[in-house]
Structure 1
Amino acid sequence: MFTILFDHASELFSGLGYTLGASLIALIGSLVLGTLFALMEIGQHKWVRVIGRAYVEVVRNIPLLVITMGFYVIVPMFIVQVDGFTAGTIGLTIYTSAFIAETIRSGIQSVSSGQMEGARSVGLTYYQAMFHIIFPQAIKIVIPPLGNQFINLVKNSSILAFVAGFDLMYQGKIIANSTFNTFDTYLAVGLLYLIVTMPLSYLMRFLEKKWKTA
């Protein structure tokens, strides 16, 4: 394993850079998109709730690979050319956003309904109450499951390997094919993924403890 790490460090760390880049973009995008659809799922208007629910249910039940291949193969055929990195990142963003939406929705709904009623009674609008009263409380509640989704996102970024996204898994596949040392190569790849996900796991635990005592 260490021979692979030293002899192919440039390829592996280049792939790690693409993995981190795709993960960061998808993390931000899926958090924004997931929050939007979570709010739509519990919106005041029925048609808004229907759209939000339909998005979550459809996306959650389509495999990540199918979504990614849709952007990598179908979109270039009819709309615009998309490279592997972009297709993989978009697919990862959309897929993860559906799970984040459900996580945030459950957090919002776990906040006592009296909080909203109290906020409305002092003159706040629905959206003011949601963003200033309900949402901050919900985020504290969903930190653990949200952290799990972020960690899963990093691991799921290996989907880029299927669309030539130059990520860590893609580089590992090339190295394994060229050296015929499959075991050590994927052991090294697994170690690098672990180096990324373990600190993230501890960070989410730290935030959970900090916000519980806040």
Structure 2
Amino acid sequence: MTLFFEQLYGMAQYYPVVLKGIGVTLALSFIGIFAGTVLGFVLGVGRASPRKWLSFAIGAYTDLFRGTPVLVQVFVVFFVLPEAGIELDSFTAGVIALSNIAACFISEIVAAGIRAVPTGQLEAAASSGLSRFQQLRLVVMPQATRMIVPSLVGQYVLLVKDSSVVSAIGLLDLTRSGWVIVQSVPNGLLVFTAVGVGYFLICYPLLYLSRRLEKA
């Protein structure tokens, strides 16, 4: 028991590292959620487009990234792009990879929501003289958004958890802070249980929001 409290005290000495790790995780997640949502909506509209070539092209793109591990995508951005002359720091590489994978998943959610809007409403909007863009903005997207919000929030939770892969390229996020601490406090169970609790505390508000939205 004495050893346990000594290790707990040792962990407490690393609170600046943990706070920095939490800050990096929150920053990555927030930027990834924002950028991924904006790009995901754009891709989702194209994915649901009646133009089959556009829908196919976007579907092929999103399937490529949805079907490959996030860690591999982070490595490609961080290690391969510099070979093409595009130098990126680890934070920027993480943001690009996470935003892209979020956009790919969100685009499919958005496309499914758009397709779920009854065609009768589109026909009524068209007969009212609304242009295609006006139909999308005034009729389709308001209804689709209400249907897809719970799924979107669930995707945001997954993005927060996926952000842990950036520790593999040396970025001091919450997971990486655990690896730093465990070098001095050799109790992996204790350290990474604390890391897991940290991720849970970040994700729980989103999980709670998702459940509330599903019941609404």
Superposition deviation, residue 55 in structure 1:
1.3
Superposition deviation, residue 106 in structure 1:
0.9
Flag the 1:2–1:177 CA change in 2: closer, same or farther, 3 A.
closer
Superposition deviation, residue 2 in structure 1:
4.8
| Partner SS for 1:179 | coil
Residues 14-60 of structure 1: per-residue CA shift (max 9 Å, x gap)? 10000000000000111111111111112243332222111111111
Which residue number corresponds to residue 62 of structure 1? Answer: 68
User: Of 91, 112, 120, which aligns to 1:114?
Assistant: 120
Once superposed, which parts of structure 1, at least 4 consecutive aligned residues long, lie more than 6 Å away? Answer: none
Which residue number corresponds to residue 3 of structure 1? Answer: 9
Equivalent AA in structure 2 for residue 32 of structure 1:
V
Which residue number corresponds to residue 125 of structure 1? Answer: 131
Flag the 1:178–1:2 CA change in 2: closer, same or farther, 3 A.
closer
Equivalent AA in structure 2 for residue 93 of structure 1:
S
Once residues 110 and 5 of structure 1 are traced to their aligned partners in structure 2, the CA distance between those partners, rounded to angstroms, is: 50
Flag the 1:35–1:4 CA change in 2: closer, same or farther, 3 A.
farther
Which residue number corresponds to residue 92 of structure 1? Answer: 98
Structure 1, unmatched stretches of 5+, are none
Superposition deviation, residue 110 in structure 1:
1.0
Q: Please tell me the root mean square deviation across aligned C-alpha atoms, in Å.
A: 1.5
In the alignment, is residue 176 of structure 1 matched against residue 182 of structure 2? yes
Conservation of the 8 A alpha-carbon contact between 1:4 and 1:184: no
Equivalent AA in structure 2 for residue 173 of structure 1:
W
Which residue number corresponds to residue 18 of structure 1? Answer: 24
Equivalent AA in structure 1 for residue 142 of structure 2:
P
Give TM-score scaled by structure 2 length.
0.91
Deviates more, 1:121-130 or 1:5-14: 5-14
Alignment of 1:29-178 (within 5 A): 29-178=35-184
Counting aligned pairs with the same residue, the percent is 32
Once residues 77 and 154 of structure 2 are traced to their aligned partners in structure 1, the CA distance between those partners, rounded to angstroms, is: 26
Conservation of the 8 A alpha-carbon contact between 2:36 and 2:106: yes
Give TM-score scaled by structure 1 length.
0.92
Aligned residue-pair number: 210
Once residues 196 and 104 of structure 1 are traced to their aligned partners in structure 2, the CA distance between those partners, rounded to angstroms, is: 25
Once residues 108 and 4 of structure 1 are traced to their aligned partners in structure 2, the CA distance between those partners, rounded to angstroms, is: 53
Flag the 1:7–1:183 CA change in 2: closer, same or farther, 3 A.
same
Once residues 4 and 208 of structure 1 are traced to their aligned partners in structure 2, the CA distance between those partners, rounded to angstroms, is: 42
Which residue number corresponds to residue 198 of structure 1? Answer: 204
Conservation of the 8 A alpha-carbon contact between 1:42 and 1:49: yes
Structure ID, larger Rg: 2
Deviates more, 1:168-177 or 1:10-19: 168-177
| Partner SS for 2:210 | helix
